[in-house]
Amino acid sequence: MGKAMINPPALARPRGFSHGILVSGGMLLFLAGQTASDAEGQIVAPGNLVAQYEQVLRNLQTVIETAGGTMQDIVKITIFVSDRDSYLAQLKALGNVHKAFFGNYYPATALLEISRFYQDDALIEIEGIAVIGADE
């Protein structure tokens, strides 16, 4: 059982993600799209992408820990943003938030710009897949 990062030398060197993660064993946890909603369903920090990213990761962490896992059990995330250019302009600050939750671990990741979220004040949403127990 375990996880192996798959980053073939024939592909561009990944920065901030892994091209693939091969997993054996464990239990699959499918993570619904999380926005920067608080416990009352209200978006925190309207207009602040970095603060919303932190809340999104906090929400994902709550789901994973409730299921008995950790953030390093996430093997795939899809990040949806309302403004790709704003995301790129804040990569360093977003990277610092990422490291606070994941350390130096990078799931397989896709980033998509979309025109609108269900909640008007949302700037980011993340969904994913975790494999709990693969590293045991």
Domains of the chain: 2-132 (3.30.1330.40)
DSSP designation for 83? -
CB 6 within 8 A of CB 19: yes
Phi, psi at 19, each rounded to 5°: -65, -35
Tokens 């970095």, residue? Answer: 50
pLDDT in tens, 41-81: 999 999 999 999 999 999 999 999 999 999 999 999 999 99
In the DSSP assignment, the letter for residue 82 is S
**Cα–Cα distance for residue pair 98/54, rounded to 1 Å:** 8
Measure CA 8 to chain center. Answer: 22
Using the predicted structure, report yes or no on whether residue 136 has a pLDDT greater than 70: no
Name the least confident of 9-18, 30-39, 62-71: 9-18
Give me the residue label for tokens 């994941």: 102
pLDDT for residue 6: 86
Summarised one tens digit per residue, pLDDT across range 83-121 is: 999 999 999 999 999 999 999 999 999 999 999 999 999
Please give the backbone phi and psi of residue 105, each rounded to the nearest 5 degrees, phi first.
Answer: -90, 135
Average pLDDT score over residue span 31-44: 94
Find the distance separating the first CA and the last CA of the chain, reported in whole Å. 7
Residue 116 has which token pair? Answer: 């609108």
Strand locations in 38-107 (E): 74-81
